[in-house]
Amino acid sequence: MRQSRRSRFGDLIRAASPSDRRRFLADLWTARGWETAVEDRLVVVRRGDRIDRIAVVSRSWLRLSPTVPDGATVVVALGDPARTRRAAPDDARVLSVDDLYELVRYGLPGGRGDDLVADHFGVRLADLPADGGGGGAGYTEGAGVARPGPFASVLPPSFSSLPVAPLLFAALLVAAVVVTAGSGGVPVLGDALGGQQPSSPTPVATTPESTPTPEPRTVAPGVTTAGVENATLLAAAHRGAAANRSYRWTLRYRESIAGDETGREVEVVHVEAPHVYVSEVERAGQLRAFPRPTASEDAYADGTTRYARRPAEPDGVAARVLDPDVRDGPGRQASRAARYLEWYLSADETSVARVTSVTNATVESGTPLYRIEGRDTDFPRSRDYRVEAVVEEGGFVRSMRVTYETRDGLGVEVWFAYDAVGETTVTRPAWLDRADGSNGGRTVVPANASG
């Protein structure tokens, strides 16, 4: 039987040379809207104010743990993702071969992912059987592990290296002899083996008809009735939706030990347009974890320049002129939110349900809302990870709440929500008016500054 697309892709990426893999990843991230460059052992990708450094880690037969290049923030594991996770930095994302396959097959213009694979490896995945069918690859789907035979769990270890077909035939033969044994213990061979069947009639078992399980239905980009299928696709849809509306975005980050709060940060962002916004942050207590989703400084942007409140600067303010390419993008705040959604909604188990109660203006206006619930994740390394989010049909995520406990017992809660959607305006903050200088600060960086 022909090899499935997913299994064949796993074979192709594992068989490629390290340099070929890096070139393929660079082209894949480029197709997904990133600026890319191959630097030494890493693929460096940039979109807006986000920079990731992607490394590919091969399976290692000689080491207990694979070697992860320094500086990697995204690690593609060609072997066991769990082993790679243990060797990777705590804040790095680990992608399995299955995850990489999903990035190729989904979220790109029609056929683009297949063209990339064909350009780099000479094989069109579309010409192979669809996933879910059998395959002759000798690998499980995306795992790169030899597929065990049906009797692997009951055979002694010394048999595990023998050909499966003779063992399977022998097992069936023994089963036939045992099942067809007569009342005196003398074997009676069945028709299939050239013998005679007993004359007594064989009762026919009746099996009730099973109700077919309905196919998952898409309810938002990257989300189906079965759960979150592609957090990257959902994050991109949210980024696009947030870039086209005004809003107030409130973010709260809280740390606790044994339930007692030890510190918190609350950031309120008013966004009038992608590059017209004001952000203010309040802090209380002592915070241990870093990085955090809340901003590290108050900021204001007027469409062409971003000002940051920094006491160490001569006038207490630093100014950056936005690059024209940046001004054409979705904006700093929409990109931040998309990054957090991709992180926190990439849970191992997710479920989706329609929101039926009228709790806000979105439901009242008739726009369908869906509640996403998830648990367990590799990012961040944690215990008791839980996430809940409410998303509109078009992909705009109205709110999200994440709770987990770090390995050293620190409780973390991340929460954000949007309101005043379509009704928010921005005024110049008082702290900028008090600064000296015609541009509100003497530190000006005129090129390649993020929005």
How confident is the model over 338-390, as pLDDT tens digits? 999 999 999 989 999 999 875 554 555 678 999 999 999 866 678 899 999 99
Average pLDDT, the chain: 78
- Which tokens go with 262? 């030890």
Domain stops at, among 95, 127, 159: 127
| Length of the chain as a residue count | 451
Q: Are residues 363 and 244 in the same domain?
A: yes
246 and 97: one domain? no
Q: List Cβ neighbours of 92 (8 Å cut-off, separation of 6 or more).
A: 68, 72, 73, 74, 75
Q: Which residues pair with 306 in a beta bridge?
A: 301, 320
Answer whether residue 429 is part of any domain.
no
Is residue 148 domain-resident?
no
Domain co-membership, 249 together with 358: yes
Taking Cα atoms as reference points, which of 284, 283, 316, 314 lies closest to residue 300?
Answer: 316
Residues 123 and 239 in one domain: no
Stretch 239-249: mean pLDDT: 96
Distances (CA, A) of 52 to 239, 270, 273, 295, 343: 18, 27, 26, 19, 13
Q: Quick one: 228 and 353 in the same domain?
A: yes
Residues 222-227 have a mean pLDDT of: 94
Residue 234, token pair as written in the block: 């959902």
Instruction: Let me know whether 232 and 120 are in one domain.
Output: no
Nearest-angstrom CA–CA distance, 24 and 46: 16
Number of domains, the chain: 2
Calculate ∠ Cα 313-316-318, nearest 5°: 65
CB-based contact 437:315 (threshold 8 Å): yes
Using CB atoms within 10 Å of the CB of residue 37, give its burial: 0 to 12 exposed, 13 to 18 middle, 19+ buried: exposed
- Any domain includes 314: no
Q: Is 257 in the same domain as 366?
A: yes
The reply to whether 274 falls in a domain is no
Q: Per the domain annotation, does 110 fall within a domain? A: yes
Cα distances (Å, whole numbers) of residue 302 to 322, 439, 440: 10, 11, 12
59 in any annotated domain:
yes
Domain presence at residue 118:
yes
For residue 104, the surrounding DSSP H or E stretch is helix 97-105
3-state DSSP helix/strand/coil % of the chain, to nearest 5: 25, 30, 45
The answer on 330 and 229 residing in a single domain is yes
Residue 101 located in a structural domain: yes
Pick the residue with more confidence: 136 or 330?
330
Residue 364 CB-density burial (10 A; 0-12 exposed, 13-18 middle, 19+ buried): exposed
- Could you tell me the CA-to-CA distances from 74 to 50, 285, 436 in Å, in that order? 12, 32, 42
Range of the domain at 354: 218-268+326-419
- Residue labelled with tokens 């110049």: 428
Can you give the CATH number for the domain in which 84 is found?
A: 3.40.1350
Model confidence, pTM: 0.54
Q: The tokens 């063992």 sit on which residue?
A: 167
Do 236 and 346 sit in the same domain of this protein?
A: yes
Final residue of a structural domain among 127, 147, 172 = 127
Domain shared by 81 and 229, yes or no: no
Considering the domain architecture, whether residues 118 and 226 belong to the same structural domain is answered as: no
Does residue 177 have a pLDDT over 90? no
Confidence of residue 436 (pLDDT cuts 50, 70, 90): low
Q: Which of 93, 127, 161 is the last residue of a domain?
A: 127
pLDDT value at position 333? 96
